[in-house]
């Protein structure tokens, strides 16, 4: 039996247990998870929030993080501007980035989700509208979601990974985790 930790990674926390080589101390997983022998299955950028999976099983870690398994990852994304159907269609077809064409994504506009407040809050500008989309991808390039939304003209303001496969961050506050046996 393998251990699987579902962790709601707060904004500003690194997806690793140590922060060697930086000048100032930055928050890491060790500030939240005190379990020996578990390691992140994939990454979530420091300026992103939401579901990060950790496990003690190398095979499970590979199945979760290796793009060849194409495990769907769903993100709730606050973008700058009022996204239109044309931009959503481009996301659905795949977007050309500097490192090539992305796989097609599932993309739809959604109502503002009921999420925890972000600390620090997203900068609010009265003259610039924003909206939310749900975006599901099956690959994991560096900063891919942010690059995809920017490529279609709607920069990301807030990025929350909601689910990976069948696992979700639902019911976990930032910094909380839950262990399940798989």
**Active-site residue identified among 45, 47, 56, 119:** 45
Residue in this structure with the two tokens 């251990």, named with its chain if needed: 3
Q: How many CB atoms lie within 10 A of CB 19?
A: 14
Q: Give, for 92, the enclosing helix (H) or strand (E).
A: helix 85-93
Distance in angstroms (rounded) separating the CA atoms of residues 150 and 63: 29
Specify whether 119 is catalytic.
no
Rounded to whole angstroms, how far apart are CA atoms 91 and 107? 6
Apex 115 CA angle, 152 and 84, nearest 5: 25
**DSSP H or E stretch at residue 89:** helix 85-93
Query: What positions carry a catalytic annotation?
Result: 45
């Amino acid at each position: 039996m393998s251990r699987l930790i579902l962790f709601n990674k707060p904004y500003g926390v690194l997806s690793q247990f140590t922060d060697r080589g930086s000048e100032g101390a930055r928050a890491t997983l060790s500030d939240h998870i005190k379990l020996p022998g578990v390691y992140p299955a994939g990454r979530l950028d420091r300026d992103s929030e939401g579901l990060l999976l950790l496990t003690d099983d190398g095979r499970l870690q590979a199945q979760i993080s290796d793009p060849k398994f194409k495990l769907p990852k769903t993100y709730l994304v606050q973008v700058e501007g009022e996204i239109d159907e044309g931009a959503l269609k481009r996301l659905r077809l795949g977007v050309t980035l500097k490192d090539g064409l992305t796989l097609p994504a599932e993309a739809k506009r959604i109502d503002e989700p009921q999420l925890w407040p972000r600390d620090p809050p997203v900068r609010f500008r009265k003259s610039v509208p924003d909206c939310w989309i749900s975006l599901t991808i099956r690959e994991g390039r560096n900063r891919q979601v942010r690059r995809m939304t920017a490529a279609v003209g709607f920069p990301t303001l807030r990025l929350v990974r909601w689910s990976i496969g069948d696992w979700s961050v639902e019911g976990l506050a930032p910094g909380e985790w839950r262990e399940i046996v798989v």
